[in-house]
Structure 1
Amino acid sequence: MSAGRHAARLLLALAALLIGAPVLAQSTQDLLPVTEAYKLSADPAEPGVLKLHWTIAPDYYLYRGRMKFTGGEGISLGEAQLPDGEKHHDEYLGDVETYHHTVDARIPYTAVAGTTRLTLAVQYQGCHEVDPKICYPPHTEKLDLALPAGAAAAPAAAADAGFGATLQALGGNRGAGAAGDALPAEQAFRFEALATARDRLLLRWSMPKGYYLYRDQTTLKVVDAPALQLTPAWPPGTAHHDEHYGDVTVYFDQVEVPVGVNGDLGSRRQLTLQASFQGCQQGGICYPVMSRSVTVTMGSEVAAGGSGKDAATPPAAKDPAPEPAMSLWWALLLALGGGLVLNLMPCVLPVLSIKAVSVLESGESPARARSHALMYTAGVLASFAIIGVAIVALRSAGHALGWGAQLQQPLVVAALACIMFAVGLSMSGVVQFGASLGNTGAALANRSGPAGDFFTGVLAVVVASPCTAPFMGSALAYAFAAPVAYALAVFLMLGLGLSLPFLLVGFVPSLARRLPRPGAWMETLKQVLAFPMYLTAVWLAWVLAQQRGADAIGLLLVAMVLLAMTLWWFERSRHRGLASKLLVLVLLVLTAVPLFYLGKVQRPTAAAAATPGVVAYTPARLAELRQAGTPVFVDMTADWCVTCKANEHAVLDTEAFRALLAKTGAVYMKGDWTDVNPTIAAFLQQYHSPGVPLYVVFPKGGGEGRQLPTVLTRGLVERALLDASR
């Protein structure tokens, strides 16, 4: 269990203390040593059969499927005969069988002629099932017993440890596991390299079940061009405590790593890549450091390094969009229109509630209306400028960052949820920031200052990022590929479009005069507009649940309760002494503590259930489908992307779309960018997409994929799939 999950549960326990729930400390000091919890005895009296017996202490159990038996020198073991265990669903291992109290095993064996000792390794694993609930690591006992008279001898055969002994000598015996069952290194760790663009590679390691790869024991270099620098973007792995390396990150099953190639490639069409890496068999041996060399034709081929030889597979998709063809002026016009339409998107509307109230509060004062408009615009433009500079800087350094990428960070999502919750409490009247509450237009007009208007503009930009308005996608794509000055101009024009309605209200008196007169009725309106804020906080909490699961939601709820307590006491302490105001600071610090631990919560390890009719995106699977001549509809999406969800509801998650897939023989492939995913980021970068949604339709006969607009219609998708199936 990760440190983040421990921290999450600790903080939830602390929250329970606030309402008086006692928390009992549990100590692991009373746990039995593994050999006392599971006492193993052996009976070799019967020739050809070894009987094993475990006496299991109360409140402990053994896993049936975690037992392994390995014969020593001159001993060949048959299949172990074990009784059926009790059915049990394990949090990590799934459906398993377990034993309580006692268990007996019978293991048939044969011995090579001349063998005098019955030697074998017995591996087993079990858990303590009451508090403190822990599982022991796999434990191995070496047995050395006298062979009974008349034990059957096997035909003469080589009685050496073979490949397993060699691996143990080279990589070190882990003290647990059946080394003789270990696969050769070429089969245990298959290595491939795919060129996805002129300056980008995708590396892939594939391991059978029970094998893992170390992240930090991997080095990469270009053999025939040492001046080139390789920058891998490793995806999140599995936290693992290693007896040699300490706390490390490892990968099971398969890992795909996008790699940037930095430097002057010149006229080179091929690169020879050397990868050195190390991995282990879970509960078994560790392999020595392995090196594989592969030759990759940049932008066109796959090289397989399973045995250190080159092996080409069908061509990869070519880069479909080298440079944006539109002019700067056209991009600026699209950006202005996209920013203007962004005001109507559902993710921006809650923040516009704040701005609408502040504009109404300005009443008949032209100076006040202009101040609101200018400070709000300043906040919007400053935020867009910072986003533009950050994206340009990170992309020039070889990192992938897209529109809305900040919502891939769980801490940002949680902080935004708390901000929306706090704004909602303010609009509901729980707390007032600024002047005291009044019932007249004069009191309302004095409540918000320039800083509040500026912050509202910043908040509008932050929450606008999950939305992509029509015209906006093309403008952002231009900005992501254009020179720095042009890119910043596009981002600033997006900001101008977003703030344009309020600029018009502030600087066109005839429009301002059409606004309702301020009065006591506005307090009711303000309280009503608090509910979109609460709904936005709920939506952000849902996004967080998709990213980090129930532990993160528990921490967020604790933070929200503490935040509500902070704001409540802040309002009560206005006319109190210094001690009351210091308590506000203490409560504010306590509010930040759950958010701090939330950043340490890891993504849930359990895989989500597959959606019927949807294939998860991987470059390898896409290449296989294209090689087979299958049309493919690729959908890059994210849970925080409002435009993605709207397209799914209107077009993609419908019976008509599923019928269209069946009619055209197309495969629906989906990539989830809710969390950081370098593989999907590489695909987005390949198509010069500023973020999600990205829709690409690959035709049946091969060739380049067709990129669709970010806002879909049924007719548009139908035409694209019919064309792709011809």
Structure 2
Amino acid sequence: MPSFARLLRNLAALASLSLFALPALAQDEDNLLPVTQAFHLTSDASQPGTVKLHWRIAPDYYLYRGRIKIKAADVSAVKLGEPALPDGIKKHDEYLGDVEIYHGDIEATVPYTLADAANKVLALDVQYQGCHEVEPKICYPPNTEHLKLTIGGASTIPTDAAPASGTPALASKGNGAALLGAPAATPGTDAQALPADQAFRFEALAKDGKSLLLRWTMPKDYYLYRDKTEIKVSSPAGVTAGEPDWPSGIAHHDEHFGDTIVYFDQVEVPVPLNGADPTKKVELDIAYQGCLENGICYPVMTRHLSADLASGAVTVGNAATAASAAAPSATPAEVAPTPPPANLMPGGEEKVGFIAAIGLALLGGLILNLMPCVLPVLSLKAITVLESGESPAAARKHALWYTAGVMLSFALLGLVVVGIRAAGHGLQWGAQFQQPVIVGVLVYVMLAIGLSMSGVFEVGGSLGNVGSGLASRSGPTGDFFTGVLAVVVASPCTAPFMGSAIAFAFAAPLYVAFLIFVALGLGLALPFLLMGFVPAVARMLPRPGRWMETLKQALAFPMYLTAVWLLWVLTKQRGADAAALVLAGGVLLAMALWWYGRSRGARFSWVFTSVLAIGAVAALWTVHGLPAPTITQVASDGSVPYSPEKLAELRSAGTPVLVDMTADWCITCKANERAVLDTDTFRDLLKQTGTVYMKGDWTDVNTTIAAFLEQWHSVGVPLYVVYPKGGGEGHKLSTVLTQDSVKQALDAATGQ
């Protein structure tokens, strides 16, 4: 970034700090005028071609000349000329440098040209900013008045109601985002924002006599700015705070601050204390600032720390010098981006209502039956339904037990995920596939089911409750656990319509989330319910016969292929050593099941079987301690690895970016890559639009990527976000991509 631009950003940050660090002035705010009374604006459009704007500035207030901005509400209807403003009083501002200000009355004239001469209404947006120059010295937020002027008349028709007399001007901005004073209601809700101490819970620990660990914990949807944090040692002399070791955060585009880094949920920051004596106390002042997403921004919060490095005791209190930390001359501040309409999610994704979410969940669960990650398990259910073809009662029984397994599993999984997120921890759909041991267990399960279907062994009563045999067991137990297994392997898949329903569930009350996940389960189980309860569907099934045994053995091979796919995922997570261990364990498991099938009923046969099974479990558990492989090769698809810092750098440079959050275990991700992202057409499109393709791999646990998913309210991967050329908010794409949808998104982002 050029040095001049960097200087401007630093000045804006300092200006923001000085504006928000005003808690000691709260008792004087009632004496301040509302912004529209402190800077009373009138207009005159009696002379066609020119509009006059007049401000009457109250005593002890001043208006910034350089902060007056006049825009046409509809640029296609009117073209504005350069406003003619009088010269102001020269003033040196500590943060803004040399500026000009106005006192008393001032008048500006603005020439304009109408596209349609018959138009008699002129709509203008007039933004201005000023300050109160005596105690309490504060600056108002930029205020925008929306004017509708009747050409040939002098009256102004306001489109937004002015604040009522006596309303503190510090509480709101023209766009409705709260800025100063007590937190206001969150847009789109009736609830009040949390008090600062609850929204940003701050703790500190003395680690080793030479450093501190600072910790901020935020509830859902609250975030902390990295660049708005300042750490100063007040005593003893000679001790300074070193560079904080910030973890990777979330790249966040702020309408006024530009591209910044923020943190959701919780962040821990080690801070070295240079020159500190491990046997003495250290006094520090910590200033920080954060916001409620799509809501208010809080004033700068300042806390005083007293740390006894010898005992490790740390006390945290409000800084007595918070008021004096404010600049003597208040400066203009900018705040978080204007909140989107209440019915929109980030990136323009429209929220859904309860009924629509139920419908989408039902439809998404139904489509899951067609996903390749679910089809191998459904082959088991197809066999049982065919076997019961001669008995309608048996078919209904199979369908009901299978449905019970599916719906109960979806409900429990949903409650666990939503409960963990409600406790303030991020957890996305399909995250269990990030655990190598779980992936290894599923390899064993698929292998065991395949061997059973191939006739290597049959599950009897003594082994009927062993995990891998449950799904292939006949009767209600087998039907129920086939449904459970279907849900387990379905979770990395995100069917169309499913993402919006799960996102609704994550944000909804617990009982609503429960109903959403039950609807997903009902959709997944629906085909087999129809087979069991609709005679016309049941009659479409072929009659039982010898061919069923052949089909049963043939359907074992999709199970083996699923095990191969899971083994490939494990290789990506923990390398070839992990794959070799699980393969060896799989051989031991196969030998144990083979021996069980051959020696069933023989004396002491269970001893050999148990030894082999224990060996398989031991091989699998060893995988848990293996490190993730180090990947150094350059991506063949031309992508760059995701990092918040790199994304912020690209956006600061005005470069369009397509962020792709993916995982090797995500079937939808791989389908999108094969159909769209790994094609010459897509690579040519990137070159034509100058777009950088940035990819984040969520195959293994990655808190940075998880935070990005949380920021975009994504229930999991895939997640595709396009950031436009020249800055601006990102746009979230559908989870299922097409060549046309990607081209339209990139063309729109680059203005082509």
TM-score, structure 2 as length reference:
0.56
**What RMSD, in angstroms, separates the aligned Cα atoms of the two structures?**
4.3
Pick from 252, 256, 261: which aligns with 2:248? Answer: 256
1:648 corresponds to = 673
Pick from 718, 726, 741: which aligns with 1:693? Answer: 718
Matched, 1:399 2:392: no
Letter of the 2:667 counterpart: V
Aligned-partner SS, 2:373: coil
Aligned-partner SS, 2:732: strand
Displacement of 1:295: 3.0
Q: Is the 8 A contact 2:709 2:715 kept in 1?
A: yes
Q: Is the 8 A contact 2:250 2:708 kept in 1?
A: no
Aligned-partner SS, 2:549: helix
Deviation readout 1:192-211 (Å, 9 max, x if unpaired):
xxxxxx9999x9xxxxxxxx
Pick from 504, 510, 522: which aligns with 1:484? Answer: 510
Displacement of 1:610: 3.6
2:416 corresponds to = 390
Displacement of 1:296: 3.5
CA pair 290-377 structure 1, distance change in 2 beyond 3 A: farther
2:214 corresponds to = 220
Deviation readout 1:122-141 (Å, 9 max, x if unpaired):
xxxxxxxxxxxxxxxxxxxx
Aligned-partner SS, 2:693: strand
Matched, 1:321 2:345: yes
Q: Is the 8 A contact 1:410 1:547 kept in 2?
A: yes
Displacement of 1:391: 0.8
Matched, 1:414 2:440: yes
Q: CA–CA distance in 2 between the matches of 1:427 and 1:221?
A: 54
Q: Is the 8 A contact 1:276 1:291 kept in 2?
A: no
Q: CA–CA distance in 2 between the matches of 1:621 and 1:540?
A: 32
Q: CA–CA distance in 1 between the matches of 2:528 and 2:569?
A: 30
2:400 corresponds to = 374
Letter of the 2:514 counterpart: L
Letter of the 2:378 counterpart: L
Deviation readout 1:168-221 (Å, 9 max, x if unpaired):
xxxxxxxxxxxxxxxxxxxxxxxxxxxxxx9999x9xxxxxxxxx99x986214
Matched, 1:471 2:497: yes
Displacement of 1:701: 3.2
Letter of the 1:477 counterpart: A
Pick from 464, 472, 482: which aligns with 1:456? Answer: 482
1:429 corresponds to = 455
Aligned-partner SS, 2:638: coil
Q: Is the 8 A contact 2:213 2:271 kept in 1?
A: no
Displacement of 1:226: 12
Displacement of 1:495: 0.4
2:620 corresponds to = 595
Q: CA–CA distance in 1 between the matches of 2:611 and 2:522?
A: 40
CA pair 452-576 structure 1, distance change in 2 beyond 3 A: same
Q: How does 1:506-585 map to 2 (within 5 A)?
A: 506-577=532-603, 579-585=604-610
Aligned-partner SS, 1:256: coil
Pick from 692, 705, 711: which aligns with 2:730? Answer: 705
Q: CA–CA distance in 2 between the matches of 1:591 and 1:289?
A: 55
1:33 corresponds to = none
1:277 corresponds to = 270
CA pair 221-414 structure 1, distance change in 2 beyond 3 A: closer
Q: Is the 8 A contact 1:270 1:295 kept in 2?
A: no
2:652 corresponds to = 627
Deviation readout 1:144-169 (Å, 9 max, x if unpaired):
xxxxxxxxxxxxxxxxxxxxxxxxxx
Pick from 702, 705, 729: which aligns with 1:680? Answer: 705
Deviation readout 1:336-394 (Å, 9 max, x if unpaired):
11111110111111001111011111131111111110111011011101111111110
Letter of the 2:213 counterpart: T
Aligned-partner SS, 1:564: helix
TM-score, structure 1 as length reference:
0.58
Displacement of 1:609: 3.4
CA pair 450-275 structure 1, distance change in 2 beyond 3 A: closer
2:106 corresponds to = none
2:242 corresponds to = none
Displacement of 1:586: 2.6
Aligned-partner SS, 1:690: coil
2:361 corresponds to = 335
Letter of the 1:675 counterpart: D
Displacement of 1:618: 1.1
Pick from 359, 364, 379: which aligns with 1:353? Answer: 379
Pick from 739, 748, 751: which aligns with 1:714? Answer: 739
Q: Is the 8 A contact 1:274 1:293 kept in 2?
A: no
CA pair 317-664 structure 1, distance change in 2 beyond 3 A: farther
Q: Is the 8 A contact 2:407 2:521 kept in 1?
A: yes
Q: CA–CA distance in 1 between the matches of 2:546 and 2:407?
A: 33
Gaps of 5+ in 1: 1-197, 204-212, 233-252, 260-268, 281-287, 304-308, 437-445
Q: CA–CA distance in 2 between the matches of 1:654 and 1:703?
A: 28
Q: Is the 8 A contact 1:274 1:294 kept in 2?
A: no
Q: CA–CA distance in 2 between the matches of 1:270 and 1:391?
A: 21
Letter of the 2:618 counterpart: V
Deviation readout 1:420-471 (Å, 9 max, x if unpaired):
01111111111112499xxxxxxxxx97111111111011011111211111
Q: Is the 8 A contact 2:435 2:700 kept in 1?
A: yes
CA pair 358-396 structure 1, distance change in 2 beyond 3 A: same
Deviation readout 1:489-546 (Å, 9 max, x if unpaired):
1111000000000000011122212211111111111111111000000000000000
Q: Is the 8 A contact 1:414 1:541 kept in 2?
A: yes
Displacement of 1:719: 0.6
Displacement of 1:277: 2.7
Letter of the 1:676 counterpart: V
Aligned-partner SS, 1:599: helix
Deviation readout 1:14-56 (Å, 9 max, x if unpaired):
xxxxxxxxxxxxxxxxxxxxxxxxxxxxxxxxxxxxxxxxxxx
1:344 corresponds to = 370
Q: What is the number of residues matched between the two proteins? A: 469
CA pair 382-324 structure 1, distance change in 2 beyond 3 A: farther
Deviation readout 1:580-614 (Å, 9 max, x if unpaired):
12332232222211111111112124545344521
Letter of the 1:483 counterpart: P
Deviation readout 1:301-347 (Å, 9 max, x if unpaired):
9x9xxxxx99x999899897279732111111111111111101111
1:130 corresponds to = none
Q: CA–CA distance in 1 between the matches of 2:267 and 2:746?
A: 40
Q: Is the 8 A contact 1:277 1:290 kept in 2?
A: no
Letter of the 1:481 counterpart: A
Displacement of 1:573: 2.4
Q: CA–CA distance in 2 between the matches of 1:424 and 1:270?
A: 46
CA pair 226-419 structure 1, distance change in 2 beyond 3 A: closer
CA pair 368-276 structure 1, distance change in 2 beyond 3 A: closer
CA pair 581-276 structure 1, distance change in 2 beyond 3 A: closer
Q: Is the 8 A contact 1:435 1:447 kept in 2?
A: no
Q: Is the 8 A contact 2:450 2:559 kept in 1?
A: yes
Q: Is the 8 A contact 1:270 1:296 kept in 2?
A: no
Q: How does 1:165-180 map to 2 (within 5 A)?
A: none
Q: Is the 8 A contact 2:377 2:482 kept in 1?
A: yes
Displacement of 1:633: 0.8
Aligned-partner SS, 2:722: strand
1:295 corresponds to = 288
1:117 corresponds to = none
Displacement of 1:410: 0.5
Q: Is the 8 A contact 1:636 1:671 kept in 2?
A: yes
